[in-house]
Amino acid sequence: MAKYLLLKHYRGAPAPVNDVCMDQWTPEEISAHMKYMHDFAARLEKTGEFVDGQALAPEGTWVRYDGEGRPPVTDGPFAETKDLIAGWMVIDVDSYERAVELAGELSAAPGAGGKPIHEWLELRPFLAAPPTITE
């Protein structure tokens, strides 16, 4: 078993095929998109492959330690060009192939016109504690 993180991006990822900004979708299209992802998560719960998932706000702040006794440096709320994570889901699956299959399915969430957005998702394996080492 291996855990993978599926990352959705606000920006920073390559443009999806069906590239229409969400604020230009109809409310029904947005509902359909949300329902798709909700159903996806519910199905993975049933297959025993779901671990966790959350949506994230588009506002992100970069923070950095700036030395003893000094306040941390932040770049303010105006992130212009950086990659921003829109949400994530953690799955626990039998194989890399299964993780790719599920990510592909999630990427097909419907967007404008009810058509799949073909969004790029990032798939990252978790680094875990070491198993038995066969020296």
Partner 1 sequence: MDEALLRSLTPGVLAVLVRRGADFAAAEDAVQDALVEAVRSWPGEQPRDAKGWLVTVAWRKFLDARRADTARRRREDLVDQEPAPGPAPAADDTLRLYFLCAHPSLTPSSAVALTLRAVGGLTTRQIAQAYLVPEATMAQRISRAKRTVSGVRFDRPGDVATVLRVLYLVFNEGYSGDVDLAAEAIRLTRQLAAVIDHPEVAGLLALMLLHHARRAARTAPDGSLVPLAEQDRTRWDTRAIAEGVGILQAALARDRLGEFQAQAAIAALHADARCAEETDWVQIVEWYDELVRLTDSPVVRLNRAVAVGEADGPRAGLAALAPLDAALPRHAAVAAYLHERDGDLTTAARLYAEAAHRAPDLAERDYLTRRAARLNARR
- Binds partner 1 by CB under 8 A, chosen from 19, 39, 52, 59: 52
Per-residue binding string, partner 1, 7-46, x by CB under 8 A, is --------------------------------------xx
3-class SS of residue 30: helix
Q: Which is nearer to partner 1, 21 or 128 (CB)?
A: 128
Tokens of 4: 């993978």
First to last CA, the chain: 21
131 binds partner 1 (CB under 8 A): yes
Q: Phi, psi at residue 67, to the nearest 5°?
A: 105, 160
Residue that has been written with the tokens 């003893």 in this structure: 68
> Which residues sit at the interface with partner 1, rule CB under 8 A?
1, 3, 45-52, 92, 94, 127-135
